[in-house]
Amino acid sequence: MAGFGVTAEGLRLGDEAAGLVEELKAEFPAASLDAVEAPFHEALRLWHEAIRGLIAGKRIEPGLPLDIRATDFQARVWQYLQTIPEGETRSYSEVAAEIGQPTASRAVASACAGNPVALAIPCHRVIRGTGELGGYRWGMERKRKLLEAEACTS
């Protein structure tokens, strides 16, 4: 994991800062983007410390402040994902069944793909029923490394 970017709308992972900035410019073309340096606002400081800790091999503590937009279905999926313990995975169909929508595995996959806050909502812990990794918005190699790191620390 080479880098991360936190915005009011999410937490993004990337290999270089320039790529993250370009992604933000494309998503928010009318916005004025400013880099924020320490000292940070308290909520941003908590995020910054948590993500830097994760990169250093520590786990993210639950309870980071999240203020994200979601459909009711996405909210149910994302809330459930936050209950999956570090070092464990669930299949898309298991998540669908756990939220009371057993036939909605594809919709679960879409909710995972739409997750705007990497790591805080651990969509990387959701895999295919076959045991294959499935997809990941921030790249399959990153998903594989996150799961390997969690398996070592759990």
Q: pLDDT tens digits, residue range 4-39?
A: 444 445 666 777 778 878 877 887 788 887 777 777
Give the residue extent of every domain in the chain. 3-55, 72-153
Look at residue 59 and tell me whether its pLDDT is greater than 70: no
β-sheet bridge partners, residue 126:
90
Range with lowest mean pLDDT among 5-9, 71-75, 82-86, 143-147: 5-9
CATH for the stretch 72-153:
1.10.10.10
Q: How many whole angstroms separate alpha carbon 67 and alpha carbon 117?
A: 10
The one-letter amino acid at 93: S
Mean pLDDT, residues 38-62: 69
Residue 26: alpha-carbon gap to chain centroid: 20
pLDDT recorded at residue 37: 72
Catalytic residues: 123
Distance of CA 63 to the CA centre of its chain: 14
The token pair that represents 109 in the structure block: 């996959």
Whether the per-residue pLDDT at 84 is higher than 70: the answer is yes
